[in-house]
Structures are given as structure tokens and as C-alpha cells.
A = this chain, B = another copy of it.
Amino acid sequence: MTTADCPLCIGDGGRVVLRTASWRLIHAGEAAWPGFYRLVWNTHVAELSDLRAVDRAACLDAVCAIESAMRRHLSPTKMNLASLGNQVPHLHWHLVARFDWDTHFPAPLWAAPVRQPAMARLADLQARLPALEDDLRSRAFA
């Protein structure tokens, strides 16, 4: 896949919460998963180990800082972090706040659902996003 074919090179990949010279944070915009963000590395590289050490550290420091903010604002049962990219091999990290009431818990979000969506809880979660995103935007990311 060349950069001209890559959806994460051609577009942002979703609603941009925060953008730095090296990466951007987008909200995944999946209705069933309000607490689902993606950190997308701006340059087209496939694997974490394709980054120089300094860039890798910056990437993972950002993932960790975003995880911390998500924990503080969303109080998830568990955080899920994943860099898969089988469909779009352009480095991006999935950051997902998981809850013991969500449709898939404790299964991975990519597995089959185990219960119906809890609409009131999803709405409550959605309502917490602006404060989380304001907090993230207020930080001095490199």
C-alpha cells in the first residue's frame, strides 16, 4: 500500500481531537464505542519498530498520557490498547475505554457481542467526552 492508496495518508481518519507535528488523535466515531480514540502517526510507517527510537518514545508517551486522561475522565473497568493495522498498515493505536457493562466485555471488542447495548450508560459516557478532550488539548504534547 503506497501513501496515495492509504486512507490515513489521504484523510485524517476521523474527527481530529488534537494534532501535533508527529501524530493526531481522532475520535473513532463508532456509535457503540463512545470511549474509542485512535492515535494516528502522521508519517506512513507500518510498524511501531519502523520508528526511530525518539519517535517511538514520543508515540508511546502520548499513548500513555491519553490513556491516563481517559482513565481519569471515563473511569473504565479496563483500558484496551492495540496496534493492529491489518487492513490499513499505517501506524495507529486504538485506545478503548472498556466497561463491565459494554456489549463485549470481557471479550475483545473485535469478538462477538455478549449483551445488548446499555443506551443510558453510553449516553452518560458520551457526555464525558468534551471535558476529556478539552483536558487533552490543554496539554503541551511535543
Contacts and interface: CB of A to CB of B under 8 A. Distances in A.
Number of copies of this chain in the oligomer?
2
Nearest to A64: B49
Q: How large is the interface on A (under 10, 10 to 19, 20 to 34, 35 or more residues)?
A: 20 to 34
Given A49-B67, A56-B60, A82-B108, 7 more contacts: A48-B79, A57-B57, A78-B85, A78-B86, A108-B108, A110-B111, A111-B111
29 contacts: A46-B78, A47-B71, A48-B63, A48-B67, A48-B79, A49-B64, A49-B68, A49-B71, A49-B79, A56-B60, A56-B64, A57-B57, A57-B60, A60-B60, A77-B86, A78-B86, A80-B82, A80-B85, A81-B82, A81-B83, A81-B84, A82-B82, A82-B83, A84-B108, A86-B105, A86-B107, A107-B110, A110-B110, A111-B111
